[in-house]
Structure 1
Amino acid sequence: MGGSLEKSRERAQETHQRLKLLYDASVAVGTTLDGEEIAQQLVDVAVQQRFADFATVDLAVPVLQGKETPDDSTTEMRRVAVGGVRRDSPLHPVGTLITPSHPPGPWIGTAAIEPDLQTSTTWQHHSPEESRRLLDYGIHSLITVPLHARTTLLGTVNFWRSQSSRPFEEDELSDAEELAAKAAVSIENARLYQQVRNSSEQFQRLLLPRLPDLHPFTVAADYRPATTPGHLGGDWYDAFRLPDGACAVVVGDVVGHDLRAAASMSQTRNMLRALLYDLSTPPSAVLTQLDRTLDAITENPVTTACLARVEPAGEVWRLHWSNAGHPPPLLLAPGSEPEYLAADPGVPLCVDSEQPRPNHIHPLHPDTTVIFFTDGLVEHPRRSLDEGLKVLAATAAAHADQPLQRLLQILADRHPSDGHDDMAVLGLRTPTRPRLPGDATGASHRAPMRP
């Protein structure tokens, strides 16, 4: 009777431990849309619940890129998660590229158990030298489970036991399979999300223009998509030569984070291009006409924009701009502190098309850089907009001597925002020498600007 009760208690304890393992896995695994983080969550649960002394996850390289991968034994893997009761194990670290002939483990379509690695000739055959290191370390038992979603091989998970634990038993194979199945569903969801995100980002980038050569000026831009899951954006930029010899530059932001915002951005940018090319008027008048046109024939969301013309002005140039509720341009002039060209911003587009819009003018001397940007570069919920603008100006001043494209990359990389929104930054730099009479700036096509 005593022996029967003891066995009953052991079975009850094993059942409890199994349920605890699966419950913890259901709670902890899959709380993110990052496949590598999900893999690490799986490893952590397996080790913390003492199901395994060590665990590793290898994911197919195409899966990490958001692509599908064929379900065969030739798929290249990368180790994305490692964990264990000790940190000095000889298991390959995160980042190791795993090929079918590389790992000491079976590359098969179903789960497999190796209770005694010391006597497993199949396991040792893959890499005798590596197998010997693991055996010498004290690892003696292994369960390998493929991570499958439908017919797609996502990767493999290996559960290892060492000297301090008993060997794996056949009835534990089902626990390993359930852990892997839970993780596989979440990893596949992360892959599908990444696939959609890649397509959305590609769509957004295709809507943005390739900047032309605007000699004698240098023009560059950088765009970064939002890091928030599911967010598309309506940020855009543009720059091109006008028929009257001036250069037009614009940066804008359509309110919203969806396909509608992206489509409205494209519609607004193309409409503005047509108006700029047709109207030899100040930027305020162009924005006013754009606002009236959008109000008449579209249902576009509220949109902010900063539109500028860079015009010849004697031996130098001048910046002639109008702002529709947008952050001000940042001026970097030699020998001067960075300066925001703060002025009356006017109302955003698609708010009140009858509101008057102001114009502003500022001289541009040689080797001066003007930076236009969207609010995604500076907004952060835990700091004021002024603080974000201050950090951006300091970063720009510290790297003002960099080539323009590199400067914009630095600003986008080190942005003071929280990254929840997409961001666009456009820069224009004047030549290092004064403009002389007869310099090629399109003067032969110049027409008088209509008020």
Structure 2
Amino acid sequence: MLRRRPPRSASADDLLTTLGQLTAQAREGAELQQARVELAEALQREMLPATLPEVKGLRAAATYAPARHGLDIGGDWYDGFTLPDGSLAFCIGDVQGHDVEAAAFMGQIRIGLRAVAPHAADPGEVLSRANDLLLSVGAGLFATCTFLRFDPATWELSSARAGHVPGVWASTDGDYGVAEDPGGLPLGIEPGESYPVTRRLLTTAGTFVLLTDGVIEGPSFEIETGLAQVTRLVGARAGADPATVAAEVMNMADCTGHTDDAAVMVLSFDGPANRAG
């Protein structure tokens, strides 16, 4: 219904003109919203790596799913790159907020991690330096992150966590579980924060999975329940193709009812007999 003040009779032309104006305003708003969504999606695509590094005996794969509604996009990321000493770095994280600003901050974190990693002794120092770097630029946001370093010479996998959800591991000998490693505060909160390093010597074939909370948590779905489901899945798929495992883990996000974006990274390790050569 259309009401005019002061009340007066309205002709058919008046009604059509008013409806046309309202329709134009609605269309303009929809086009603006779509443009913002496309901008956020473009930022997200450009800031995620096209490929992940691999060496003989280690295969890696990752997948990302945007949020289900509106501008809830841009907060989650993953990355992988080779360090000057020949070791491989992998990281995954989640930025506070889900909009264009979160996507831009995610880009700052990714660049910061790549900048400090070659000069840090271990993943804990990487996170400490990245934390101080982010605080120095005054971004006003924070992010959770897990950073891994894999040494192909020793087959040691070292890791550190900055407030991020734990990973999940499984070996082909039947063992599996949640990697409840100690950690520190999210990046961008407290200057001088330290991050404990957990070291694992990989002696059997298996799989290590990193993910964000959009995969395992929802409005009425507790994170512990989601982690338990992922752990059982990964335990049954230890050593399988990492791209397949990543897709199967991501599909579990449909059970949580979560509207957040989500990311999964899977590292698959061969056993000692398959590493030679």
TM-score category of the 2 structures, normalised to the smaller one: 0.7 to 0.9
| Greater relative contact order, per chain length (Cα 8 Å cut-off, separation 6+) | 2
1:324 aligns with 2:162: yes
Q: Distance in 1 between matches of 2:65 and 2:197?
A: 29
User: Contact 1:367/1:430 (CA < 8 Å) preserved in 2?
Assistant: yes
1:413 counterpart SS class: helix
Q: 1:193: how far off? A: 4.5
**Cα distance between partner residues in 1 of 2:240 and 2:119:** 36
Q: Which amino acid aligns with 1:269?
A: R
Which residue identity lines up with residue 228 of structure 1 in the other structure? H
Match of residue 386, structure 1, among 197, 217, 224: 224
Question: How far apart are the structure 1 equivalents of 2:39 and 2:238?
Answer: 34
| 2:253 equivalent to 1:418 | no
**One-letter amino acid matched to 1:347:** L
Deviation, 1:380, is 1.1
The residue type paired with residue 421 of structure 1 is D
Residues 49-71 of structure 1: CA deviation (Å, up to 9, x unaligned):
xxxxxxxxxxxxxxxxxxxxxxx
Give per-residue Cα distances to partners, 1:271-308, cap 9 Å, x unaligned: 110111233x0111111111111112232411111011
CA distance change for structure 1 residues 435 and 360 in 2, over 3 Å: closer, same or farther? farther
Output the CA distance in 2 between the equivalents of 1:328 and 1:267.
Answer: 23
Shift in Å at residue 185 of structure 1?
Answer: 8.7
Shift of 1:232: 2.3
Give the equivalent residue in structure 1 for 2:50.
210
Q: 2:245 aligns with which of 407, 428, 448?
A: 407
Residue 227 of structure 1 is matched in structure 2 by 68
Give the superposition deviation at 1:188.
8.5
Taking a change above 3 Å as real, the CA distance of residues 259 and 185 of structure 1, as seen in their structure-2 partners, is closer
Whether 2:199 is the aligned partner of 1:361: answer yes
Unaligned runs of 5+ in 1: 1-18, 20-178, 440-451
Look up the SS of the partner of 1:362 in the other structure.
Answer: strand
Q: Which has the larger radius of gyration?
A: 1
- CA offsets 1:147-173 (integer angstroms, 9 cap, x no match): xxxxxxxxxxxxxxxxxxxxxxxxxxx
CA shift for structure 1 position 262: 0.6
Structure 1 pair 183/365, CA: closer, same or farther in 2 (3 Å)?
farther
Aligned twin of 1:171: none
So what's the TM-score if we normalise by structure 2?
A: 0.82
| Alignment partners' CA distance in 2, 1:397 and 1:254 | 29
| Distance (Å, rounded) in 2 between the aligned partners of 1:229 and 1:368 | 38
Counterparts of residues 56-71 of structure 1 (less than 5 Å)? none
State the secondary structure of the residue aligned to 2:192. Answer: coil
Aligned to 1:246: 87
Contact kept, 8 Å, 1:333 with 1:365, in 2: the verdict is no
Q: Is the alpha carbon distance of 1:196 and 1:283 closer, same or farther for their aligned partners in structure 2, counting shifts above 3 Å?
A: same
Structure 2 CA distance for aligned equivalents of residues 411 and 192 of structure 1: 34
SS, match of residue 380 in structure 1:
coil
Conservation of the 8 A alpha-carbon contact between 2:40 and 2:103: no
Counterpart amino acid of residue 360 in structure 1: T
Change in CA separation of 1:203 and 1:313 when aligned onto 2, cut-off 3 Å: closer
Unaligned 5+ runs, structure 2: 2-18
CA distance in 2, matches of 1:304, 1:274: 18
Distance 1:337 1:430 in 2: 14
